[in-house]
Amino acid sequence: MKIDILTLFPEMFDGFKSESIIKRAIDLGKVTINTCNFRDFSEDKHKKVDDTPYGGGAGMVLKCQPIFDALKSVKKENSKVILLSPQGVPYNQKMAYELSKEEHLILVCGHYEGFDERIKSVCDEEISIGDYVLTGGELPAMVITDSVVRLIPGVIDEESHLNDSFNNNLLDYPTYTKPRDYNGMKVPEVLLSGDHEKIKKWREEKQLEITKEKRPDLIKPRFVLKKEGLKKSGRRIKIDDVKDIKVTIIKDNKNLSYKVTKEEKLVAITIFNPKELKGYKLKGKSKDGGITKILIVKKAFAFKVALKNIRKKIDVLANRLNTALFEIDEDKTRKVLAEAEMLKQMIINTYQDYIGKERLDGIIKNINQLVSEFVRSKTLHSN
């Protein structure tokens, strides 16, 4: 893997690249990490990379030209460009695994008040490492690089990261080492028993217990039903008659979703919003607090519905962009650009499981092209 980091402060990465697992990965040839100072690409005689924002406001905004030219110097056909911003999609372990499969990552570090909005048009993804503001994108770039590099095959033992926190949506279990008794604090007896089944069960219970206490937001309701036999009636499956079926139920104010797996393999998924699928409403009956009957919708059907809904939403965005093209009010322009960002994040969060990464990337790219064309036309129209 190759990682290029566009930054105003390349020296910040010297220690990062020369220590611990990152250094080992570089020495093993598993990853190449380069820094690129986009100030070097500034056409300003004073090498300025920022300017005051149109419409007024505090702070300085990074200009398009230096970053566009810096990206052009490092970007290849297989590159994935990530903009590091508080407005981005929240970063998590699942994203780290996805990024670790890429051949070339380009991380763009912000600074000052933010980026010129048009810079987003040449980026594939916008990522945030948390709901807080930093002075620049250098620390987020280190966080993402560290979390990705350790997942590259051969950097660390595979078992080390397979048991990481968040891999199964739970926090990690407690671990202990010698001595058995330290100041009266003893290692749990089960870990000294040598009974691997008991140890495994204890760890699973502790994971759930700790997650409930510290991060209850990570836990989704689960019902594991183990019954002999399998009975089908058209599209209906009686869950209480199915062996080794796990039903994951996700519910908020608007959506009700069921994901059905058998022996850890996805066998069927249901609709994500029953109101959008006429004639295919979910039907569930409660029995002792669990779901006993459900109307299963085939994955192919959910895929078609997801694309149909996405197309409708993109058409609405296109109409709003066309309307805003001739608006003088800059607030309306900013609003429609913000709507485009929100639409991308909504599609990623809501539809990714139904349309797959390849199709999702294509859709996000199309939205970026729409926005880029709007910004270009708006600039020409204003002049």
Structure tokens of 370?
């729409």
* Strand pairing report for 50-51 and 61-62: antiparallel
Give 69: exposed, middle or buried? Use CB within 10 Å, 0-12, 13-18, 19+.
Answer: middle
Nearest in space to 26 (alpha carbons), one of 36, 40, 12, 16 = 16
Nearest-angstrom CA–CA distance, 88 and 131? 10
With beta carbons less than 8 A apart as the criterion, state whether 28 and 159 touch. no
Which residue numbers are catalytic?
Answer: 86, 113, 150, 164
The CA-atom distances, in angstroms, between 273 and each of 160, 177, 293 are 38, 48, 18
Axis-axis angle for helices 330-355, 357-382 (nearest 10): 170
Which helix (H) or strand (E) segment holds residue 79: the answer is strand 79-90
Nearest-angstrom CA–CA distance, 149 and 275? 42
With beta carbons less than 8 A apart as the criterion, state whether 127 and 84 touch. yes
Nearest-angstrom CA–CA distance, 207 and 168? 10
Which helix (H) or strand (E) segment holds residue 343: the answer is helix 330-355
Which helix (H) or strand (E) segment holds residue 67: the answer is helix 64-74
The CA-atom distances, in angstroms, between 190 and each of 151, 171, 180, 304 are 31, 20, 12, 50
Amino acid at residue number 239: I
**Which DSSP category does 111 fall into?**
B
Which helix (H) or strand (E) segment holds residue 309: the answer is helix 299-324
With beta carbons less than 8 A apart as the criterion, state whether 60 and 112 touch. yes
With beta carbons less than 8 A apart as the criterion, state whether 245 and 239 touch. yes
